[in-house]
Amino acid sequence: QVQLVESGGGLVQAGGSLRLSCATSGRTFSSDNMGWFRQAPGKEREFVGAINWSGRRTYYADSVKGRFTISRDAAKNPVYLQMNSLKPEDTAVYYCASSARYPVGSVWNTNMIDYWGQGTQVTVSS
């Protein structure tokens, strides 16, 4: 069974940092591009950023650019989302996602995703 499992969410004060991890199992994802999305209450799921299969190319939504960093070691699990300078508006459930077909270099939409994780809650207090 293919699984993406996020961890590392929690409660943090504004200005703080968190690092999310996405562990994969069931098959190898070393050739897949990986991404992160988030969904706040009452809002649609939105793209946060993505990293290509080799780890050499990343792309971020404007709202997180300069504050969030995605990384991976192509030979290993997991994929990370380092979140710095967190703001209350970053509060959401964060989802790990994979896409074998779509390149990294523009905003992904949810239709481009092959597999989703179950999500991890991030809450930023003011």
Based on the number of CB atoms within 10 Å of its own CB, is 122 exposed (0-12), middle (13-18) or buried (19 or more)?
buried
Asked if residue 4 lies in contact with residue 23, where contact means CB atoms within 8 angstroms, the answer is yes
pLDDT of 38 reads: 98
The CA angle 82-86-88, to the nearest 5 degrees, is 140
The CA angle 126-117-13, to the nearest 5 degrees, is 10
Place of tokens 């070691």: 73
pLDDT, one tens digit for every residue, the chain (126 residues): 999 999 999 999 999 999 999 999 999 898 999 999 999 999 999 999 999 999 999 999 999 999 999 999 766 678 999 999 999 999 999 999 999 999 999 999 999 999 999 999 999 999
Assign 118 to helix, strand or coil.
coil
